[in-house]
Amino acid sequence: MTDTHTATHPLQQPFRDAMASCAAGVHVITTDGSAGRYGITMTAVAPITDEPPTVLLCINRQSAIIPILSANSHLCINVLSAHQQDIAEHFAGLTPLSPEERFEYHIWHRGQTGQLQVEGALAHLHGKITAQHDIGTHHVFYVEIGEIKVHDTAAPALVYFRRNFNSLK
């Protein structure tokens, strides 16, 4: 049996390099509930179906948010605008802020289910985890969306491309 923490697949780095060539929207996923409050910056967010509206989230199994999301079961997908790069950096752990301090540097509101949404985001999608499983190094969550708020449709989006944050109009 191969130890997945030390062994690497021969295509791992070429795969990562190829995926870095795919521009992706930047999101901050937040959850708050009995297991605590937490947030994480993500690009591995994809729509699955619009009936019912469902989104897929892929998160590395080493991430501290996995047990918190699983226990809370509700979350908010904050679709970041180009001027919110600092938020993306905070929640990606690129700054020295603790997970709790990350929430202190921005203005937050609560959606109908009580989940935190950051002011100024292009959109907020609130949902409930309906299924989950592991594949390779990642945990996959299926989230049925129950509340959607679309805000500024003219502002540029924050995207991640070739391992850098960029603006897309």
Average of per-residue pLDDT across 35-64: 97
Residue 17 belongs to some domain of the structure: yes
CATH code at position 29: 2.30.110.10
Residue 80 belongs to some domain of the structure: yes
Tokens 């391992």 locate to 163
Q: Considering only 6-20, 26-40, 76-90, which range has the smallest mean pLDDT? A: 6-20
Q: Looking at residue 37, what is its pLDDT?
A: 97
Selection from 92-96, 149-153, 164-168 with the highest mean pLDDT: 92-96
Rounded-to-integer distance, Cα 149 and Cα 78, Å = 10
Q: Which helix (H) or strand (E) holds 146?
A: strand 138-150
**151 lies in which domain range?**
12-164
pTM (2 d.p.): 0.91
Residue 116 belongs to some domain of the structure: yes
Above 60 in pLDDT, residue 4? no
Q: Looking at residue 153, what is its pLDDT?
A: 84
Q: Looking at residue 18, what is its pLDDT?
A: 82
Above 50 in pLDDT, residue 1? no
pLDDT single digits (tens) 98-136? 999 999 999 999 999 999 999 999 999 999 999 999 999
Q: Looking at residue 38, what is its pLDDT?
A: 98
Residue 89 belongs to some domain of the structure: yes
Banded model confidence at residue 137, pLDDT cuts 50, 70, 90:
very high
- Structural domain tally of the chain? 1
- Closest by CA to 63, choosing from 99, 96, 115, is 99
> Over pLDDT 90: what percentage of the chain?
81
Cβ neighbours around 96 below 10 Å, total:
7
Banded model confidence at residue 2, pLDDT cuts 50, 70, 90:
very low
Residue 126 belongs to some domain of the structure: yes
Rounded-to-integer distance, Cα 3 and Cα 1, Å = 7
Tokens of 69: 């999301």
59-75 b/e (C-beta count within 10 Å ≥ 16 → b): beeebebbebbeebbbb
What does the mean pLDDT of the chain come to?
92
Rounded-to-integer distance, Cα 75 and Cα 68, Å = 10
Close Cβ partners of 98 (under 8 Å, ≥ 6 residues apart) = none
